[in-house]
Structure 1
Amino acid sequence: MTDALCTVIPDVWDTCWYTIDPASLLITSHFRRGRADVPEELLQELMIHEHYSDDVNRIADLCRSASGMGGIHEATGGDARVSARWRQSLTVGSDQELRVTLRTSADETWGALSLYREEGRPPFDADARAVLRGIAPVVALAVRRMLLSNASDADAHDTDEDAPGLVILDRGFGVRSTSPGVERWLRRLPGHDRSGDRLPTAVVAVAAATLRSADRGEATVRAPFARVVCADGGRLVLYGTHVPGQGSAEGIAVIIEQASPGRMLPLLLSAYGLTGREQDVVRLVLRGKSTAQIAACLFVTPHTVQQHLKSVFAKTGVRSRRDLVGILFSGQY
C-alpha cells in the first residue's frame, strides 16, 4: 500500500499505518515505512503520547470527527510548535503530517494512516487529501477482513496458557514486574521485540490509556481494553487497571488473556458487515431460539427473520445455523 500510495502522492518521506480496535479506539499494532531514521525509543514515546497526552489530531479524536482527516499545521492554526508530537517528530526531521482514519462507516474505524514530509517540503494539498479520502474505506475493508482470516494455527499453543499474563509498569512505563510465563503472551502480540527492550504496541496503548483515565479522574464504565489479532490467527484481549499507591508503589497493570467468544463476537459481527438487525438475529440464533421465537422477540414476522438469515448466510459464507455457530465460536480463541 505504501509503495502504491507514493506513486500518486509525491514527496512522502515516511508513513505509519495503524490497526485500531473500533470499540475502544486504541491502537493495536503499527507499521512504519519510509526514509526517516526513528529510534525505537521515540516510537514508544510517541505511542505513549498518543494515548496519554492532549494534542491536536489524536487518532481517537479524528475517529470521532466528521472528516476523519487532519493536517498538523492547520490543526494548530499555523503554529505547529504548540504540538508536542510535532516537536518530537521534528527531532528526526519530520515537519508536515497528515493523518487519515480508515473507516467503513461513521462509527467503525479499523485503522489509521499518518503521512509525513520532511522540513522544507510543501504541505499536503487537496489532491493528496482526495486520494486518501478515496482509498481509506477500501483499506478499512481490507483491515476488517483480516479479522476473518483462517485461524488454523490458533489451537497450536501450550495448554498451560490458560492463566492470564500480567505486566506491571511504573508511571514512566518501565516494566516493574511480570507474571511467570508472560513472555509467551507478549511474543504473540504484533510488534513483539525479541530483545525485550520494547513492549508491543497494544500493551503500551492500553497502559497509557489507563494512566490517562486515572490521572484525569475520568469515571469509566469499563477498563481500557484492546482486542488483538495475532500473527498465528489467534485472538487476545488486553485490559488495563490502575494500581494506586504513593511514589514507586503506583503503577499500571496490563492483563493479557485469550479473547473469549463473547468478547470477540461484536467485533466479528461488524467484520462480516452485518446490519444492526442482522446482528440481533444472530445473537438470538446463538441462544438457540427458533425462527418463531426470534420473530416474537424482535416483533417481526417469521418471513422477515428468514430474509435476515438469508442475508447473514450470504455475508458469512455459510448455509446453515449450525455452520454459523461454527464460524463464530470456532477454535479462533
Structure 2
Amino acid sequence: MGIEAFTGARDRLLRIIDDETDIAMILDETLASLHAVTRFSWCALMTVDPRTLLPTGGIVEGFAAEACAPFWDNELLAPGFNKFNALARSTDTVATLYDVTDGDIERAPIYTDLYAPLGVADELRAAFVLGTTCWGVTDLVRATEDGPFPSHEVSQVRSLAPLIARAFRGGVCRLDAATHGPAAMLVIDGRNQIQNMTMESRALLDELQTSGVAEPGLPSLLGAAVTRARFSRTSTNLVTRVCGISGRWLRVTAVPMEGGRGQVGVMIEPARSSDVVPILLESYGLTQREVEIVLLLARGLATKDIAAELSLSSHTVRDHVKAIFDKTHVNSRGELVARIFSEHLLDGLEAAVRHHS
C-alpha cells in the first residue's frame, strides 16, 4: 500500500468531488479508497448531521447488523477514547486506539463491550471536517493477525480525510435537495385569500387541512403563519414547521411583499433533514434556547464553550441544562443524546445503512 495506491485513491476521490455523484456512490468510492491505503476487516462509514454529529446513513462492512445499536450506545453513553465529537473538534481528526492507549487497547470500554470476541488489534477513527463542520465519520477495525495500523497508513488516511469531507459535503447537500421535493409557492392577499399558486401547491395545501372536511381557500394553519408574518415587526420573514395530516412535517416560509397591500409570499416544502432533530426536541417542551443548547451538547461542547457560543454566562447554561434534563427525564449529557438517537433516529439510520458481509 505505497504511493501508487495512495495516488489512485486520491484520484478516485477527486473525480467524485466535482461530479454530480449521489451519496451511495460517494460512500462506495470512499470505502474503496480507504481499502486501497490501509488494511481493515470491519468498517462503519457514516454520513452525519452536521448540527448534531448523529449518523444519518452509510455503509457497514463486516459488523453484524445487530451490532449497530450497541456500537452507538457505547459511543454515546460509555467513557472511552477518540469519541467522534471530540475528533470533530480536534486539530487532528484521525486517531488510532492503539496509540491513544499506549498499546493497551483492553483499557478501552469499546474493546470489552464489542471488540474482544472479534479478535481486534486496533481501531482507526476519522472525522471528515471542512472548516468547523463535520460531514461524516469512519471507524476502521483491524484483526489481530494484521496488528496495529502502521503510521504510514494512518498518515495516508489523514491525507485523504479532507477530500472525503468535500465529497461527503457535496453528496449530503445534493441528497437534501433531492429528498426535498418540489416546493409550493403561493401569493396571499391582504384578506388571506390565495391570489396565485404553483401547480404543486394543491397537494401540500391538502396536507395542511385541520379537519376531515377540506377548508375552502387558505388552510387555517397556513393563515396563522401568514398573518403573523404580515404584522411582524421583528423580522422580514417567518419560518415555521407544521405537521400535515399524513404525519409528514412541512417547512413554511412566509415573506411580506413590497407594495403595502398586505400581500405575503409563501413557500411550503417538505422539512429538511436538518429540521428533524429540532422538531423532536421541541416535542419535549424545550424552549428555542434549550434546543440550541442540546444541539451544542450533541457536538460535545463543554459548558464554557456553549456559554461563549451563545453569549451567556456558564451559570445560565448550567441552569438551562438542568431544565433540559428535567424535561427529557435524563441524568447526563450522554444519556440525553442517546435518548434522542435511540428513540427517534435509530430506526431511520438502520434503514439507511447498507451492510456488506
* Alignment TM-score, normalising by the size of structure 2: 0.45
